[in-house]
Amino acid sequence: MGLKRREFLQQAGLLLAMLGIHERLYYRSYQALAQPTRRKLALLVGINQYPTVNRIEEPLQGCLTDVELQRNLLIYKFGFQPDDIVTLTNEEATRNQIESTFISHLIEQAQMGDLVLFHFSGYGSCIPRYNSVSSQPQIQYSYLPVDVALSEQEAVNDILEDTLWLLLRSLSTSDVITVLDTSFIYPGDHQQGTLKIRAVDRPTTVEVNPAELDLQNQLLSHLSLSREELEQRKPGQLPGLVLAASKPSQVATEGRWDGFNAGLFTYTLTQTLWGASSTDNLPAQISRVAGEVEQIVGPCQQPQLRRTLTGSNVKTEREFSLGNLGVNFHPVDGVITGVEENGKTAKILLTGLPTFVLDSYSLNSILTIIPESNTLENPVYLQLRSRTGLNAKAQIKTSDLTSSFELQTGQQLQEVIRILPRQINLKIALDPKLNRIERVDATSAFSGFSRMTIVASDQPADYLLSRVTDTTIAQALNAPLSPLFEGRYGLFSKGSVLLPDTVGEGGEAVKMAVHRLIPQLKTRLAIKLLRLTENERSSQLKVKASLNLLAPQSQVLIKRETQGILNQVNRENTQTVNSKSSSNQSIISASETIGIVTVAVGSRLQYQLQNQGDFPVYFLLFYCNSEGQTYIFNSVFDPQQQEIAAGKSLSLPPATIYSGNSSTEIIGELVKGPAGLAETHVILSQNPFITTLTNLDKNVKKNEGILKFNLVSNPLDLADSILQDLSLGSQPILDKMGIVTDDLALDINRWATLNFVYRVVG
């Protein structure tokens, strides 16, 4: 039962008096000087069980998982002390409790130089705000606590963004990170494809809870700010670093993965940061997150890093190193969270595995414990025995361990052998808005094609089959469709974004639509298989790759580098030297937003591959555009021409190529479009791709140009061949470790797949 207005205000007043905000905040800066060591404090809020009243039609499902993912990351990766992390979930996360805990745990304890992290996963909204300066109506964003609907009270009980801004400004430290897995604009439906939207409609009343305004007034007084100054703040701008699930005008979503629900942003963010090293910078990691999210849902949700800087607070990009979050650390695929059966079995959290790999990650996969000495002498292997979602159990595989060795909670793991099913299918969900006959006919049509699986709309899926509507047309990246196409069938991302070139003609039956889409679906399956080979963070193969812009200006857009245990040695020193020698350091501006890398049509691109090892490596380079067309770079299908010698580099295409006419010079590869997401997979291996190159001749359309990027007619055949080649190259270690399986068993250290994701814009 909710509190009456008088009781609520009385309790709020007692809380503020008890906390002694004025006195404690006043002396806080002096206490900071006495702090002997840097602390890292965190407040994590996640709410699933919202009451289904007023604005809220249904609860959420992934917010508690978000809190667990974030907490494990902070403890096991970044060295936060468990006692310095406070979590508020479900019924604990009232407006009163969230704000008072922010004050008592963060504001009162954080001192100068400390690191503070605040995370919120739940519903967001927006409410009207009257600007007394301009006399113009505005909106401000808000965060919904679990007691969003107070009975017998008509005032809005949201946590206002103005309040969060004041709370963050009241911290003594400037090292502040706010993670927001929520959104504020309600599009009129809680579902977007197979995903659930974390936003609700704005309230019907504009009256704000007086206790919320009272807290704002006390914080304003402490900060010596007027309400007029507060009203000049731009919506969406908060002090410090803000890691946001999407643009303020977009949605944030949560979805179903293999065995768990989670916020798309939080899951992708934590998974990416597990795979980062202490020398990586945060903007580069957010660009990676943004690319991966767009691979899953399309452009309807674009994660961003926002930083508001002024005056002396402006920093170079180098100062946003993840090393600020903790001591030296390495990329991690998993972590031991418990030990059972007298030390023989480890409970493992697999949050570092690539997102696209987890769903197919199979039993008997092998991981190794990352040693503190950063060497691979006397490795300890663990073999996966069971898995449910991110949680797994593994047993020691190594037979010659000393009696003193013990499995310990907190030990970090990297992949060694990746086991995948021999046959991997594409999962297609049918839109529940299709009628029963349509769903039956579509299921029947798909049953006639191998490697296509129909799943329920609330289960993990790769794509969605649905009708094209007016709303869909408005969201599409391409030109609007004619009215003839409205209501026809098309293929959608999980976020219900229409995939280009998948819409049928008017009057098409759903069975015919399925038959028409099969070639596209096979291409999408090929891309799924290529993504399953990603192993940048755990491969010991010493290779690098970069995507470079040559024109209209010279710039390195994306860098990729293998980050296995051995590859981490001396990396910090190398990167320090490189960063100091750079003549073009990136300056984070006063209000910069960082997201996915964009490339304009008409630009010239080049890939640079580096082999830093002691033996030659062979390579393949696949490029996939937004329409699902796949291109491959080849050199007359000769393995020796697809080789990079030890210690050498290779540019694709070369910086300058002459067409035979001295007056014609081509610089790099021309970006022609189509607009939308593009991704490139660079696969480098110790073994030549014999099977793949044999199949290339019958699966590519030869390019008559000189740059040798050829359209692949059957990319699924080539993707299967690549997995076969990687499997054959892995046989030596399988024999050595005594692994016999009918599944695909891949030696992580025999190859490296480096992935580049960017958006092409017109």
Number of domains in the chain: 4
Q: How confident is the model at residue 89 (pLDDT cuts 50, 70, 90)?
A: very high
pLDDT at 403: 61
Residue of higher predicted confidence among 242 and 403: 242
Task: Give the CATH number for residue 411.
Answer: 2.40.10
Assess whether pLDDT exceeds 80 at residue 279: no
* pLDDT > 90 in the chain, percent: 55
Name, of 231-235, 471-475, 692-696, 751-755, the range with top average pLDDT: 751-755
pLDDT at 649: 94
pLDDT at 134: 62
Q: Which of 3-12, 202-211, 522-531 has the lowest mean pLDDT?
A: 3-12
Residues 167 and 54 reside in one and the same domain: yes
Query: How many angstroms separate the CA atoms of 756 and 287, rounded?
Result: 10
pLDDT at 325: 67
Residues 438 and 503 reside in one and the same domain: yes
Assess whether pLDDT exceeds 70 at residue 21: no
Residues 319 and 346 reside in one and the same domain: no
Assess whether pLDDT exceeds 60 at residue 489: yes
Q: What is the pLDDT of residues 602-613, one digit of tens each?
A: 999 999 999 999
Q: Which of 45-59, 400-414, 550-564, 627-641 has the lowest mean pLDDT?
A: 627-641
**What is the DSSP secondary structure assignment for residue 386, as one 8-state letter?**
E
Residues 89 and 146 reside in one and the same domain: yes
Could you tell me if residue 580 is inside a domain? no
Q: What is the pLDDT of residues 502-514, one digit of tens each?
A: 998 878 999 999 9
pLDDT at 139: 85
Which residues does 719 contact at the CB level (< 8 Å), separation at least 6? 525, 526, 527, 529, 530
Task: Give the CATH number for residue 101.
Answer: 3.40.50.1460
**Containing domain of residue 644, as a range?**
543-564+590-761
Domain boundary among 264, 298, 325: 325
Could you tell me if residue 132 is inside a domain? yes
Could you tell me if residue 573 is inside a domain? no
Residues 489 and 373 reside in one and the same domain: no
Q: What is the pLDDT of residues 293-330, one digit of tens each?
A: 988 888 889 999 988 754 444 444 434 556 566 655 78
Residues 319 and 349 reside in one and the same domain: no
Q: Which of 27-31, 534-538, 705-709, 711-715 has the lowest mean pLDDT?
A: 27-31
Could you tell me if residue 577 is inside a domain? no
Locate 11 and state its tokens.
Answer: 């309790």
pLDDT at 576: 32
Q: How confident is the model at residue 33 (pLDDT cuts 50, 70, 90)?
A: very low
DSSP states along 90-145: GGG--HHHHHHHIIIIIITT--TT-EEEEEEES-EEEEEEE-TTT--EEEEEEE--
Locate 479 and state its tokens.
Answer: 């030109």
pLDDT at 11: 42
**What is the DSSP secondary structure assignment for residue 497, as one 8-state letter?**
P
What average pLDDT does this structure show over 453-463? Answer: 90
pLDDT at 18: 39
Residues 641 and 752 reside in one and the same domain: yes
Residues 280 and 316 reside in one and the same domain: yes
**pLDDT, averaged across the chain:** 83
pLDDT at 469: 73
Assess whether pLDDT exceeds 60 at residue 656: no
Domain boundary among 395, 420, 445: 420
Residue 34, class by beta-carbon neighbours within 10 Å (0-12 exposed, 13-18 middle, 19+ buried)?
exposed
Which residues does 188 contact at the CB level (< 8 Å), separation at least 6? none
What average pLDDT does this structure show over 624-633? Answer: 88
Assess whether pLDDT exceeds 60 at residue 422: yes
Handedness of CA 419, 421, 425, 430 (dihedral sign): negative
Residues 151 and 38 reside in one and the same domain: yes
The amino acid occupying position 22 is: H
pLDDT at 401: 65
Q: How far is CA 592 from CA 178, 286, 307, 314, 586, in A?
A: 15, 13, 6, 11, 12
Could you tell me if residue 293 is inside a domain? yes
Torsion of CA 30, 32, 34, 39, to 10 degrees: 170
Locate 390 and state its tokens.
Answer: 């991110």
Residue 299 exposure: Cα atoms within 13 Å on the Cβ side: 21
Assess whether pLDDT exceeds 60 at residue 581: no
Q: How confident is the model at residue 587 (pLDDT cuts 50, 70, 90)?
A: very low
Assess whether pLDDT exceeds 60 at residue 6: no
Could you tell me if residue 574 is inside a domain? no
Residues 28 and 177 reside in one and the same domain: yes
Could you tell me if residue 203 is inside a domain? yes
Residues 298 and 348 reside in one and the same domain: no
Query: How many angstroms separate the CA atoms of 529 and 421, rounded?
Result: 11
Domain boundary among 420, 454, 478: 420
Residue of higher predicted confidence among 8 and 528: 528
Tell me which residue has tokens 């009241």.
170
Q: How confident is the model at residue 404 (pLDDT cuts 50, 70, 90)?
A: low
First to last CA, the chain: 55
Q: How confident is the model at residue 646 (pLDDT cuts 50, 70, 90)?
A: very high
DSSP states along 411-467: -EEEEEEEEE-SS-PEEEEEPTTS-HHHHHHHHHHHTTSTTEEEE-TTS--SEEEEE
Residue 466 exposure: Cα atoms within 13 Å on the Cβ side: 24
Assess whether pLDDT exceeds 80 at residue 178: yes
pLDDT at 372: 76
On whether the CB atoms of residues 85 and 44 are closer than 8 A, the answer is yes
Could you tell me if residue 604 is inside a domain? yes
Q: What is the pLDDT of residues 709-757, one digit of tens each?
A: 788 999 999 999 999 999 999 999 999 998 999 999 999 999 999 999 9
pLDDT at 273: 93
Residue of higher predicted confidence among 382 and 578: 382
DSSP states along 292-322: HHHHHH-TT---EEEEE--GGG--BGGGGBG
Locate 93 and state its tokens.
Answer: 């996360």
Residues 226 and 276 reside in one and the same domain: yes
Assess whether pLDDT exceeds 50 at residue 1: no
Locate 694 and state its tokens.
Answer: 């044999």
What average pLDDT does this structure show over 73-100? Answer: 95
pLDDT at 155: 81
